[in-house]
Structure formats: structure tokens, C-alpha cells
Chain A
Amino acid sequence: GAVVSQHPSRVICKSGTSVKIECRSLDFQATTMFWYRQFPKQSLMLMATSNEGSKATYEQGVEKDKFLINHASLTLSTLTVTSAHPEDSSFYICSANRGAYYNEQFFGPGTRLTVL
């Protein structure tokens, strides 16, 4: 149990285009999903917290107009990187929690974004 999928696993795009990444909890309902970014050999960085049916909460320094998050249902959250630039190239990972209080988070396999 507790499987989280992410799609696509890898994407290469041209500078200026938008990229949408989907995150799904396959066997449980997630009241909250989280989006992280990780650069090579660096720590996980939380970008935003997404609650079903409400606006996402972004961490300081993360541009909400650039990283659009939609949490349409208890099993699906999407991250859209708008007008991507080479500096947005990174490993984007979502997670879903299976209970708010203990916040046991299960991670998706990640999406490696390369912007040319």
C-alpha cells in the first residue's frame, strides 16, 4: 500500500514552454500533497503544500505564478512550471500524506526536468 505515482518521469523542453507534472496517490486518499525540488547533490527543498480544494501554500522564495499547483481531488495534484528556463532544470518530487497528524509522507518517483 501507500503508492504514489508521478508522470512524466523525465521531460526535456525548450526555454519558454510550460510543463505539467501529475502526482497521484494510487491506493489512499491524501488530504495534503507536497511538492519538492532537489538539485544534484543537494537536500530536498519544499516548494509548496497543496490541500485538496484550496490554494497551495508556497514556501518563501518560490514564485507562485511560475509554479502553478492544482489539487483537484484527494488523489491528484498537478504542478505546472510556466515559461520554463534552464535554471528550472531540476528533479521535482511530490509526496502525499496518509494522515495529517502524523504526516507520514510517501514520495512519488520524481520527474527530471531539463530545460534547453
Chain B
Amino acid sequence: QKEVEQNSGPLSVPEGAIASLNCTYSDRVSQSFFWYRQYSGKSPELIMSIYSNGDKEDGRFTAQLNKASQYVSLLIRDSQPSDSATYLCAVNENTGAGSYQLTFGKGTKLSVIP
């Protein structure tokens, strides 16, 4: 059973601080990794994709990937109350015959305190 593990939280950070979200995965051959943000009662929204080892920055968000350690993280700089949501880590898995599906972690609930 391929797994994606996240700390469920809640993770509370003060406004303006850096929020650090972590994720580990079990499938060594996975090639693509995603972070989704899900507000309560809404569907997930893709905020970051990362495919290569290292850092990828987009605005206040930085995704970090270490395939050797099977670890992917998301940093949110200058956290805002509007960043309060559940963050889902997703890993692409090859299910065979050219088919792929995402395996999701259970999500980390982030709360940014004004």
C-alpha cells in the first residue's frame, strides 16, 4: 500500500511568520508531487507542483523536494489569516498500463493567528 504521510495538525502560526508543512511518501519511483489547499466546504485548489529535487518558489510559497529522503515540504512566508486551510500533499503513482493516480495525504490543518 503506497502511503503519503502528513502531520494532521492543527499547526498554528502567528500572522507574518513562516509556516512549514511536511510530507513523506513511500513510493520511491514517484516523479511528480503536488500541494493543494482546501478551505472548509470547498474543493482542493492546486497551489504548487514540483518534479525535481530542490526548491521551487512561487510568490510566498516554496516547495522543497528530496527524492532520496522521500520528503516534500511547503513553506509559506509572511503567513496571512487567509492562508488558514487544510493543505494536502499529493504524490503521483503509476498504477500500470500508462495510468496514473494521485495518492493524497490526510492533510495538515493550518491556522494563522492575527
List chain A positions with a Cβ less than 8 A from chain B: 2, 32, 34, 43-44, 46, 49, 51, 57, 91, 93, 97, 100-110
Residues of B within 8 A of A97 (CB): 100
Q: Which of B48-80 contact A (CB under 8 A)?
A: 49, 51
Of the candidates A32, A43, A91, A102, the one whose C-beta lies within 8 Å of that of B49 is A102
For the complex, what is the distance from the CA of A97 to the CA of B104, rounded to whole Å? 15
Interchain pairs with CB closer than 8 A, number? 56
Residues of B within 8 A of A102 (CB): 31-32, 49, 51, 92
Q: Known contacts being A49-B99, A100-B98, A100-B100, is A106 close to B42, with CB within 8 Å?
A: no
List chain B positions with a Cβ less than 8 A from chain A: 31-32, 34, 36, 42-46, 49, 51, 88, 90, 92, 98-102, 104, 106-107
Q: Known contacts being A44-B88, A106-B46, is A101 close to B100, with CB within 8 Å?
A: yes
Q: Known contacts being A43-B104, A43-B106, A44-B88, is A105 close to B46, with CB within 8 Å?
A: yes
Of the candidates B32, B43, B98, B101, the one whose C-beta lies within 8 Å of that of A107 is B43
Give the residue among B88, B100, B106, B107 with the most A Cβ atoms within 10 A. B100
Question: Smallest Cβ distance from A90 to chain B, in angstroms?
Answer: 13
22 residue pairs of the A-B complex, CB under 8 angstroms, read: A34-B101, A43-B104, A43-B107, A44-B44, A46-B101, A49-B99, A49-B101, A91-B43, A97-B100, A100-B98, A100-B99, A100-B100, A101-B32, A101-B100, A102-B49, A102-B51, A103-B32, A103-B102, A107-B44, A108-B43, A109-B42, A110-B42
Contact assessment for B44 and A103 in the assembled complex, using a CB-CB cutoff below 8 Å: no
Q: Closest residue to A2 on the B side, CB-wise?
A: B46
